[in-house]
A and B are shown apart, each in its own frame.
Chain A
Amino acid sequence: MNTVLWIVFLPILLFVIGTFMLGYSRKYVARIERRYGPPIQQVFYDIFKLMSKKTNISHGWMHDFAILMLLGGTLLTMYFVPVPGFHFFAQYGDMLVIMYILLIPALGMALGVGETANPNGSIGISRALMMLAGYDIPFVLTFIGFAMINHTTSMYELIQVQQAGGFAGWGLISQPLLGIAALIALQGMLGEKPFEVMVAPHEIATGPMTEMGGKFLGIMMIQHAISIVVELTIYINLFLGGAVNWFDYLLKLFILFTALISVNAVFGRFRTDDAVRFMWKIPLPLAIIGILFIIF
């Protein structure tokens, strides 16, 4: 019964958290820029407005289906990532599954954008995929290293291992190099500056979103809200010792997110090749050194 409740309310919960986090992020950035900024519930208005648009153009059935695949894939990921009090699906899929189902929304998106026949979108996807090659390698490597020392690939068990060790058991503390590498990769994974070249509104007209409007864009924003929480949760679970209760969880989310958007607020944008080079020159060697420490 409890599980059913979780299954029903978890998406809503994470959606609300995600929406407010995005709103907070906009406010935070506005304040750094000395603006007043939008209200914290602004993202909710945006989503509502988009969902209630009267025209919703689409370029074909793949365009329609891509949206379903996008949010569907994100919901899939969401259920497999343990949050405090809910890890029902963790027994059916481990971290490796999560790593690869994380790519389903991206793939769905890419296909839909492809069908819009807009080169801006294609360029955006091309950049997003290249960025993927940049950040995913260090990120997965850190996970591999972490899974290797703990002899498990299950995320739930990794959380428990960390919590058993107390504060010193946190991944970031016990394996600082891996933790830092993963943190940098996480910035790329979230698509925050300086790794947001795939969107680049002034250059390629928001890339993948070029032909997206109305409810399509609305669902994309819902997905964005949820996926941000999910990706942050993955990092928390792997390197910040998971969370014992919801207060702990929200606190960690808040701190981690603030750290990342602070970087986002003050950085410009890397070119794609520079971003990939950066990812392969800083976090990747860090992760490799971290793993060498583990082996020897």
Chain B
Amino acid sequence: MSIVSNLLLLTLLGVLLNVIFYKSEVVQKYISLIIFAILTYLSIVMYPLVGSHFEIPFLIAGQHIGFTITYLNYYFALMITGITLLTVIFSLKFIKGKEGNTHYYTVLFLKTFGMLGVILSSDLLTFFVFWEIMSWSTFALMSTGGEPAHRSAFKYFVFAVTASMILMAGVILSYSLFGSFDFAVIHGKMASLSLPMTGFLLTIFITSFSIESAVFPVHSWLPDGYSNTFTTFTAYLSGISTRIGIYGIILFLFGVFGIQTVDKLGIIGKINFRYVFGIFAALTMIVPTFTALYQHDAKKLIAWHSVGQGGYMLIGLASGSALGIAGGMFHVLNHMAYVVLIVFAIASVEYRTGTTNLNKLGGLIKKMPVSYLALLFGIIGLAGLPPMNGFVSKWFIYRALILGGYPFLAIAAVIGTLGTILSVYKLIHNMFLGQLPERYNDVKEVGFSMQLPMWILMIVVLGLGVYPGLAMGLIAKIQVSLGLAAVPYALHGIKAASGQLDMLVVSAVFIGGIAVTWIIYLLGNRRKHVGQYNNYAGGNFLNKSVAYNFNYEFYAALEHVIDPYRKKIIERTERGIASVTDAVSEYIRRIYTGMINTYGIYVVTAFVVTIIILKELI
């Protein structure tokens, strides 16, 4: 009881204190720092309590508010508190003097409260209550940052409220089917449910979570929503907020419904529920990733990738094998680490230069080497190249898909990875490489409080890449606790009958290769550093007034190839739905003409219709 209630009460206390001290940024800042540090500590020491169940003696609809700590919860709780702490450390300086920062920490606490509640809840109703709190605070988070943020947050809200309503239907439908909200009870009675009903119920839940985790056809709220708000919020949102949807999917697919039940839901032949889900996941990987290629705003580019990376997690889960599920879960952690790292680097650049427009930046590696390194680690992770963590989880997923016999899902993953490599190179190139514009000559590296989270995350990204076993231990336990086969892991990789992975060897050989190259490099004469204007330009003279850079429309040729296939179906559909709603409401509004004679006709009509219908009924 103590730790769970302490976690939740502390976050609430944080909300309260921040509301009280909304005028003093300094007080807010240190209160938040301290409380989040305690929260992180508490969630770490929660480990011995795994398996225990707590109830707050308070009834909702005949139901206590129940919490339970499982390995899955523990995993997510660690991620939430950890990343929030890093975000707060980074924000200490970042949000200083920004407009609308008075409620910065308040909404952060509220959001954390909602997320912790969602992941710790042990029954559907508690889950739903905290889910709503979470959605509204996400909305509040997205709304900070001016008029565009308001608009995009509104779009999110439309999706989120739809998701909550669908979830509500699911929650109550399962209550009326099973007579209980409790996950364990529902899981126990699941076998007695007829297959169509199971499918229907599962579809309801998965749809709702898919909206929250931005799966392909319902992803369009995310990029704008995440990129228009404060950049630190972009990090926080893409790092962990979206992944609560993934938590829901993991919980319901494996915890509540159970993989055996899900596997029974066949459609035609080999195509079953998981496969259909996998197709959506595959589209989530491909479409947003290639949309990211077109972006020229760093935040928006990463936001699109945030959508795309969700597809990897889902496709891992959809593969249904121990390796794939482990990969999906591991990817949540990995993605959180590197995407937050990337966005922190972007935020550092924004902090110093005031822009995230990729067409206006360049050459900052000379001025901000630490941010560059952070971004480099991040993008290597995001692109899924060894030796960073992103590779390991992606490797699990590819392998699970190939050996599970899903070649087209596997190729979707590969296509997504290639698209990612392309666009992250554009990101790092346009920000840090190329020519340094003259106006950024005085730019400095960011201070310690902003560097510290980046260094920590760099260590995490590299550490988990070389020693995936650090996280795999917990993930294997999660798998066992969900009744799945555990993945055969070792400290630095996977032990399997055919085709193992040993990241330590890979990294060591890589470092050895670099060492050998370094020796060869030293054999030559000393190198000499030259400035950026000492450059080949076909004999032309370069100076600061000559823009000699290539970053506008970086992948024009590929865009030419893709353009014919980019029909923007989703945008058009959404606009269609919006205009249909508008039209319907306009017509319905016109029912109320304002003229009393039509109203009289309505009454008479109603009278007649009532007679006709009631005559049949009685």
Contacts and interface: CB of A to CB of B under 8 A. Distances in A.
B565 to A, nearest CB: 10
Contacts of B502: 91-93
Given A117-B548, A205-B536, A151 B510 contact: no
Interface stretch (B38-46, B99-107, B514-522): B514-522
A219 B520 contact: yes
Interface residues of A, number: 88
B169 interface: no
Interface in A107-155: 107, 110-111, 114-120, 122-123, 125-127, 129-130, 132-133, 136-137, 140-141, 144-145, 147-148, 151-154
Given A58-B529, A118-B536, A148-B402, A110 B411 contact: no
B572 interface: no
Interface stretch (B120-128, B469-477, B549-557): B549-557
Interface in A44-98: 51-62, 64, 67-76, 79-80, 89, 91-97
B401 to A, nearest CB: 8
Given A219-B517, A276-B557, 11 more contacts: A52-B524, A62-B433, A76-B510, A95-B499, A97-B395, A101-B510, A103-B385, A115-B365, A115-B433, A132-B421, A214-B525
B443 to A, nearest CB: 15
B543 interface: no
A67 B535 contact: no
A97 B506 CA distance: 9
B431 to A, nearest CB: 10
B509 A107 contact: no
Interface string A256-293: 00000000000000011100110010000000000100
A231 interface: no
A27 interface: no
Contacts of A129: 421-422, 425, 555
B538 interface: yes
A72 B516 contact: yes
Interface stretch (B331-339, B376-384, B449-457, B600-608): B376-384
A100 B391 contact: yes
Contacts of B405: 148, 295
Q: What is the interface of chain B mostly: helix, strand, loop, or mixed?
A: helix
Interface in B353-387: 363, 365-366, 369, 372, 376, 380, 383-386
Contact of B385 (A51, A67, A104, A119): A104
A133 B554 CA distance: 14
10 contacts: A56-B527, A58-B529, A62-B372, A79-B509, A92-B493, A96-B402, A107-B425, A153-B498, A219-B517, A273-B560
Contacts of A26: none
Contact of B523 (A51, A117, A136): A51
Interface stretch (B26-34, B79-87, B208-216, B412-420): B412-420
Nearest to A214: B524
B428 interface: yes
B499 A60 contact: no
B525 A125 contact: no
Given A73-B510, A136-B414, A215 B525 contact: yes
B398 interface: yes
Nearest to A141: B411
Contacts of B433: 62, 111, 114-115, 117, 122
A53 B535 contact: no
B524 A215 contact: yes
B488 interface: no
A127 B493 CA distance: 34
Contacts of B538: 205
Contacts of A52: 524-525
Contacts of A62: 365, 372, 433
Interface string B532-550: 1011111000000000111
A75 B512 contact: yes
A107 B499 contact: no
B483 interface: no
Contact of B365 (A60, A68, A137, A205): A60
A276 B418 CA distance: 13
B7 interface: no
A196 interface: no
B429 interface: yes
A210 interface: yes
- Which of A11, A58, A147, A211 neighbours the largest number of chain B CB atoms within 10 Å of its CB? A147
Given A126-B555, A219-B521, A72 B498 contact: no
A58 B365 contact: no
Contacts of B520: 51, 71, 219, 222
- Which of B380, B407, B415, B499 neighbours the largest number of chain A CB atoms within 10 Å of its CB? B499
Given A79-B509, A115-B365, A210-B536, A53 B525 contact: yes
A107 B383 CA distance: 10
Nearest to A279: B561
Contacts of A219: 517, 520-521
A60 B550 contact: no
Contacts of A277: 561
A272 B558 contact: yes
